[in-house]
Structure formats: C-alpha cells, structure tokens
A and B are shown apart, each in its own frame.
Chain A
Amino acid sequence: MTNAIPQEECDIAIIGSGPAGISAAITLNKAGIDNIIVVERESEAGGIPRHCGHIAFGFKKYKRLLTGPQYAKNNIAEAMSLGIKIQLNTTVTALGKGGKLSLVSQQGIYELNAKRVLIATGTREKPRSARFVSGDRALGIYNTGALQGMVYLKQKIPFKRPLIVGTEIVSFSALLTCKKGGIKPVAMIEENSKPTVRWPIYYGAYLFGMPLFLETKIHKIIGDQRVEAVILESAQGQKKSIDCDGVLFTGQFTPESSLLRMSHIAFDEDTFSPSVDANGQCSDPAYYAAGNVRQLVPEKGRNAYFYTSDNPPNAVNISGMCWDQGAEVAEHMLKSLESVTP
C-alpha cells in the first residue's frame, strides 16, 4: 500500500459503549475533557444491555428498574447530551504501544493516537465448541446473547423448543427471552446438584411447566440439518433422549479480550483478562480497563443471586457494577492525564 494510513488524535479513546465505557466517558467529560472518542463496533451504541429486553437494569442509577434497552438508551442519551462522540461501526483491530489504536470504519482503516485508552470490551458466554460438547454440529445451537439479539433486536427466533443448559442468572434471562419470543423450552439442565441461582430458576421452571434436571449433562446432540434431540446423561450414567429443536448454552462468561491477548499488554492467562493495578491501569500505562472485560466475578464464584458484598452478583447482571467501575477508573485516568500535563 502506497498511501499512508490516516492518523487521528484524541485525549481519551474508549473501546466499547456498554455501561463501563459510557460511564467513564461521562465522568471524563464532566471533568472537562472534551476530546473523548467512544469506539463501538456495532451499528448501535449501548452494549449488551441493549438486547436484554427484560427488567433488571439501572436500579442503582435511576432508582427504578428498567429493561436493558431502556437502560442502554438512557445511558447513551446522557452521553450524547454532553456532546460525547460515539463512533459506530468502528472496530479496533490492534492495540499499539502508548495508546496507538488501529481501527477500521466506513471511512476505511486509520490510526487513532490517544493519550489514554480505556478497554471496556465486555464479556460473552462460552460457546458450545469451547465446552467440548459431543454430538452433531447442527443448526439451532446458540448462546443467550445470540438469542437475545434475535428476539429483541430482530424479532426473530432460532428455535421453538430448545434445551437450556445452565442455571445462572443469565439462564433466567434466557427464559424471559424465550417467553418474549413465544419459545417453549423443553427442559433446563445443570451439571451440579443445585441450580447456580435458586429462586429465579425454580420460578422459571415453574413458569414454563418445564423440568429442571440437576446433576445432568449433555451426552450427545443429535441432528442432521437442525437439532432434533439431545441425549442427556445423569451423574449415575443413565441416559435418556429428549426431543428438542435447539440447544441454548447459557452463562460461563469469558471476557471479550482477544485484542488484549494479541497485544503487548500484560494479560492474566487464568482469568483471560488484562493484568491491572488497583487503579485499573494496564502494564502499558496508556491503557486502562474497566467493566466485565476484567472478569469482575471469577467464573468459579458464580453461585449467588443477591447483590451484596458477600455474594457478588453474576457477571452479566452487574451493569451497575460496570457503571461504577467505569467512573472510578475514569477518575484515575484523569489524574494520570493531569500529572503529565504541565
């Protein structure tokens, strides 16, 4: 390529427009930083809450319960009213040294030289492949995130009678999404002897008139074109087949951290999240991280529902925690900016 890559400058670049990113942007803006760019790869800002179309969001911030999309919309509206620039359809392709980001947008590839960068790329559920589940690779196998995107954003459904795998809080969220889409799950399964979260799962099972099989895992997924059945296996090794037209793998959140993994920034190989200090600063001092990309709740500790300090909430239900952490890290970014400014 003969043309030089276009260069842009900014004070703060924020990767991701979910709760953590937007909260940080608002905090920095209110502190007087004008030149903030929020980069969002989707065509709409707001992050994951955008497609969690049920009540559970924003109580702490707005003093009432909102649906995910309402919550996302409020957050984005606040940021926009402050004049914060959110660049949609813009993907960061590499994290360079000292805050030099490589990006691609509708304008093509370019580089953004930011004094400080906040990585707020969030989290996603572990797909079937990474769980090593046996069986056919037929149509109809998804994570909750994909289902929610289809039901809430596109008014489509990928199945009518799925098996739900997992009993985390997001699994309950999946049940609500099913209800919205007119989907009737055939059963819910959990490998452990108790649901990860109790009452919502028992309530959900009751609501759908749907069996909850504990100490049960998938032996094999069956299906030629589309999922036709799943053979379940109990802890005692007993097998039974259950007819269904899809499998929904819920939970087992893993940070969306591939940019970090491919970069020069120190990375915690156990949590798949960036190594940060108490201020949220990465090994490259130009970079900070906030929100679910920091694996706020380790995967192993996911067995609580109520949001207390003893019982940390499950990863996806912590939009409020992400919001708070975004603001907190933003304060540290601000201080570090001031300390280098004469």
Chain B
Amino acid sequence: MTKMYDIAIIGGGIVGCAVARRMTLAGAKVVLIEKSPDILAGASKGNSAILHTAFDAPEKSLELQCMQAGYAEYLDIHTSMNLPLLKTGALLAAWSPEEQAKFEGIMAKATNNGVDDLKLLTTAQALKKEPNLSSKLLAAIEVPREYVIDPWSAPLAYLTQAVENGADTLFNTEVTGGSFDKNQQDGLWLLETNKGATKENVKANHIVNCAGLYGDLLNKNVFGESAFEIRPRKGEFVVFDKAASKLLKNILLPIPTEITKGIVIFPTIFGNIAVGPTADEQEGRADASVAKENLEMLYAFGLDKIPALKHVPVTATYAGIRPATEKKHYRVKHDVKNNWITLGGIRSTGLTGSLGLAQHVESLFKKQGVQFNKLTSPQIPVVPNLAEHIERDWQKPGVEEIVCHCEMVTKREIKKALDDSTLPAGSMEGLKRRTRATMGRCQGFYCSARLAELTEGKFEESIAIKSNKKGGS
C-alpha cells in the first residue's frame, strides 16, 4: 500500500521528532520514517541533556539562531506538555592561567550572541556557590540561564504531538532509495524502503533528511552524492549515584578548545551527576561502546574537580555518537529543485537546537512558496515526568507496584509505556528511556526478572529468550 504525504521526514532522532511536530502543526500531512524499532536509537540516545543559552555558539551562525530559537520555544512549551526543566545555571571554570586568559573572549562572544548576563566570579565567589569544587579552581564565569532537561521525554513529546495531530510513523523502516518525478500529480517523491516495493513505499511531495549519523549515506543513496561526510564522534559518559547530587548544583563547563567543548560535569534531571563527554572520531556509526580507559579517565576527571565524588559509587556508563562532519557548522541545505531539505551535521547542540531547526524548516518551506493550513486548535499531549525534582508517578495515589526500586519506576508507568496508543516503546532501550527502569544503581539486579515478565512478547529483542529445555518457557 502506498500512502501519500506532503512531507516525509527520514529519521526519528530529536531533530526528526521536532520537525514532525512543527510541520504537522503547520498543517502538513507528515510521515516520520525510522529504521529502528523506536525513536532516539542513534545520535539522540546519548547526550548531556543541557538546554544551552548558546553563549558560546559560533557567532551569526545558523546554529546560534536555531539554538536560541529552540531554547526559547522549549521554555515556552514545556509546561503545557509536562516537560521538565531544572534551572541549574552553569559555571565555566578555569583551572589554569591559560584557561583564565580566555575569559575575556568568552565574555565578548556571549555579549555578541545576545547572552548578556554572564558574571565573572572570583575563586571565593565560585567556591561559595559550589563548595565541593576543588580548591584548584582559579576563577569562573557564571552563566545563569543554562538548564538541564530530559533528553528523551522532549522528543517523545514532540513526536507524540505530531501523531496526535495526524502524522504517521513507520518504524523498522529504512529508506533505501527514492525517485523524484516532477510530472507526478500525487506525490513527487517515491521512496523505496527495506520493506519492499509492494508493502510500505511512501509517496511525498517533500523530503526532510533528519537521518543524523546516516544523513550523508541517505543523500548518496538517493542522489549519488552528498555535500558532506559524517565523521562519527563518540562521547562517553560516567554517571554517579544520586547521592552525588548534593555535591553540585551548577553545570560545570570547561573552557572549550578548537576541537571540542570539553568534558562537562553536570547534574542530570534524574538526580545524578554525570561526567562527559569524551570526543573520539571513529569509523562506526553505530558503535556506542564504552572503553575502560576512557571511563577511568572521566572518573578521575570528576574526582579531580569534585574530590568528594570519591565516596559516591558509579551508577551507569554510556556513550553517544555525534554526527559530526568534516566541517564545524550545521550542514543544512534546501535543494529547492528536488524538494529535499537536508539537516546534516547536527552535533552536540541538537537537543537545544531541534525546535529551532524545525522553525527553520518551516521558514524554508515558506520561502519556497509551499503553503499549508496551520492547525487552529491542535492537541497538546502530556508526557510522563521522570525528573527527580518534580512529583513522580510513585508519589501519586494508586501505586500498585514499584518494579524498579533504584529509579522508583511503577508498574503503571511501565504498562503505559508498553501499551501507549500513540507511541508505545518499541524496544527495551525505548522502554528504559521512557521509564528509567534498570537505569539506576543496581542496573537490573533486582527488577530484571519482573521486567522480563512484564515485557514478554512486546519486543523483537527481549530480556528473556526461548529456553531449550523441555517444560521451560
């Protein structure tokens, strides 16, 4: 069966979800195509979950524009969709005279970027704000309006809103090629997918490539060439137990270098303290493995800056892969002739920039003269809260069972994520991101058996497998 759309969005990461929402609300008939069984399976699964002011973004860049627009829109919509926001502020810390020497330039850039509330702090002032920092601290710049958010509930909310207002989704569907026919009346693009020509081919007038780590390959598959090349850059993180949360209130930013923004120590919205990312270029686009030596380095880095972390156990480790390219900036291009928009090279700032990128896409359509009828009273979905500082499900009446004790995840939350009528969890990873089950300190020691039971038959790759044994399950 072939369905007809105004816009097909390829890729269900944070950017694809935000574009799907924006264009659905703008009145377009949208489909989002994702090759994995759930959203956020690529670059968007691991990041530092910070909502940035963009004080240090490249001046006059599209990245800056999208980050600031995205930042503003998140603040605007978060309450209505129950998206959490933790106002931590950030301290940009200098640990050496060389780093401190960069303060002036950083302050000037922030002012140029319209972020004019940065404050220089002396050692004493900084240590008063963060008494657990190492006394090796020389000075700091305070960036008051930096926040941490839930990196997974935000895109879930965006796509849920798209679907509740008429968008379709195709999971486990990989776009393998496409043909563009200007003479067609009912859909200029015919996308081929791994589902085969007879089943799930998609017709759409416009395509938005949000394929992240595979963005260049998609363009190559369709056009035979790509204007950019993805150079996957891995970032590993170490997460400390919730007991660490009392040791740090602000996001602790390093002084960025030419190559990387450096290693951040940050509170998470879930009540932990995390350290990362590393920045290692690699071949593999799907290789989110961790390396012992990097984890040990991050651990030592954390202890060096906050010595009291020594007494806090590590809860989790993870890695994310940024879709960096051979250049530093966003690789956004509107191929008007072919009705094809590419949002490529959206690296670390994608979480902040996604809503802004979506606005930018809408403006590109307007510029092209493409008209839709804006929805007048769209559905506004509410997503479950997992943030520690806001009331969680277990604190509400009617809790039947707490399944994951470390993260206090209720059976009700797990059932909702599994049986959600709009966007049910498509994989164990998706369930974890929607509920936090097994993401705490015991990493499933206590609740894996119960989860195996609750998720039986739900996912292609499940916790429990079929036994060889007679009479077994």
Among A124, A129, A137, A143, the residue within 8 A (CB) of B314 is A129
A156 to B469, CA, bound (A): 10
8 Å CB interface, B384-398 against A: 394-395, 397-398
In contact, A157 and B399 (Cβ under 8 angstroms)? no
Of chain A, the residue at the smallest CB distance from B461 is: A225
- Asked if B452 contacts A124 (CB within 8 A), the reply is no
A106 on interface, CB distance cutoff 8 Å: yes
User: In the bound complex, how far is the Cα of B466 from the Cα of A157, in angstroms?
Assistant: 7
Query: What is the chain B residue whose CB lies nearest that of A182?
Result: B469
Cβ of B443 under 8 Å from chain A: yes
CB–CB A91/B292 < 8 A: no
Contact with A along B303-326 (1 / 0, CB 8 A): 000000011011111110000000
Nearest chain-B residue to A260 (Cβ)?
Answer: B243
Within 8 Å of chain B (Cβ to Cβ): is A96?
no
Hey, what's the 0/1 contact readout for A119-132 against B, CB within 8 Å counting as 1?
Answer: 00000110111101
Q: Which chain A residue lies CB-closest to B463?
A: A158
> Nearest chain-A residue to B471 (Cβ)?
A155
What residues of chain B lie closer than 8 Å to A137, measured between beta carbons?
288-290, 317-319
CA distance A125 to B318 in the complex (A): 20
- Bitwise, A143-156 to B at CB < 8 A (1) or not (0) is 10110011001111
Q: Bound state CA distance, A306 and B428, in angstroms?
A: 41
A311 touches B (CB below 8 Å): no
Q: Does B382 contact A (CB under 8 A)?
A: no
**Among the listed stretches B90-98, B128-136, B166-174, B400-408, which one makes contact with chain A, having 4 or more residues with CB under 8 Å of it?**
B400-408
A262 located at the interface, meaning its Cβ lies under 8 Å from any Cβ of chain B in the complex: yes
Q: At the interface, yes or no: B295 with Cβ under 8 Å from chain A?
A: yes
Complex-state Cα separation, A225 to B462, whole angstroms: 10
Q: Which residues of chain B come closer than 8 Å to A221, judged between CB atoms?
A: 289
Contacts of A143 in B (CB 8 A): 442-445
On chain B, the residues within 8 Å of A139 by CB distance are 428, 461-463
Q: A142, A156, A181, A225: which has the most chain B beta carbons within 10 Å?
A: A156
Contacts A149-B449, A269-B311 known; A156 to B428 CB distance under 8 Å?
no
CB–CB B443/A157 < 8 A: no
Q: How many A-B residue pairs have CB under 8 A?
A: 153
A41 within 8 A of B: yes
A157 contacts B472, C-beta separation under 8 Å: yes
Across the interface, do A91 and B405 meet the contact criterion of CB distance under 8 Å? Answer: yes
How many of chain A's residues have a CB under 8 angstroms from any CB in B? 54
A156 touches B395 (CB 8 A): no
The residue that B473 contacts in the complex, of A93, A149, A155, with Cβ under 8 A, is A155
By a CB distance below 8 angstroms, the chain B residues around A132 are 290, 292, 295-296, 299, 314, 317
Q: Are A134 and B289 in contact (CB under 8 A)?
A: yes
Q: Which of A109, A124, A129, A136 contacts B288 (CB 8 A)?
A: A136
Contacting residue for B242 out of A182, A226, A258, CB 8 A: A258
Q: By the criterion CB–CB under 8 Å, are B402 and A89 in contact? A: yes
Which of chain B's residues has its CB closest to A246's CB? B465
A158 near B292 (CB under 8 angstroms)? no
Q: State the Cβ distance, B221 to closest chain A Cβ, in Å.
A: 21
Chain A residues with CB under 8 A of B452: 150, 154, 156, 158
Q: Closest chain B residue to A159 by CB distance?
A: B465
Q: Which A181-212 residues sit within 8 Å CB-CB of chain B?
A: 181-182
Residues of B within 8 A of A41 (CB): 402, 405
Q: A91-B405, A127-B444, A142-B448 are in contact. Are A157 and B290 (CB under 8 A)?
A: no
Given A134-B290, A136-B288, A220-B289, answer yes or no on A129-B443 (Cβ-Cβ < 8 Å): yes
| A261 interface residue (CB < 8 Å to B) | yes
Given contacts A104-B394, A129-B315, contact A146 B445 (CB under 8 A): yes
Residues of A within 8 A of B406 (CB): 258
The reply to whether the CB of A32 lies closer than 8 angstroms to some CB of chain B is no
Q: Is the CB of A150 within 8 A of B449?
A: yes
- Cβ contacts A to B, 9 pairs, < 8 Å: A41-B402, A91-B394, A106-B399, A124-B446, A129-B317, A143-B443, A146-B446, A157-B467, A224-B286
17 more A-B residue pairs beyond the given contacts A157-B467, A258-B406, with a C-beta to C-beta distance below 8 A = A41-B405, A105-B399, A108-B399, A109-B395, A124-B446, A127-B443, A133-B292, A137-B288, A145-B446, A150-B452, A156-B464, A156-B473, A157-B464, A158-B465, A160-B467, A262-B243, A272-B313
Kindly list the 10 A-B residue pairs having the minimum CB-CB distance in the complex, ordered from nearest.
A149-B449, A182-B469, A127-B443, A156-B464, A146-B448, A269-B311, A132-B295, A150-B449, A134-B292, A145-B445
Binding site for A on B (CB under 8 A): 239, 241-243, 286-293, 295-296, 299, 310-311, 313-319, 394-395, 397-402, 405-406, 408, 428, 441-446, 448-450, 452-453, 456, 461-465, 467-469, 472-473
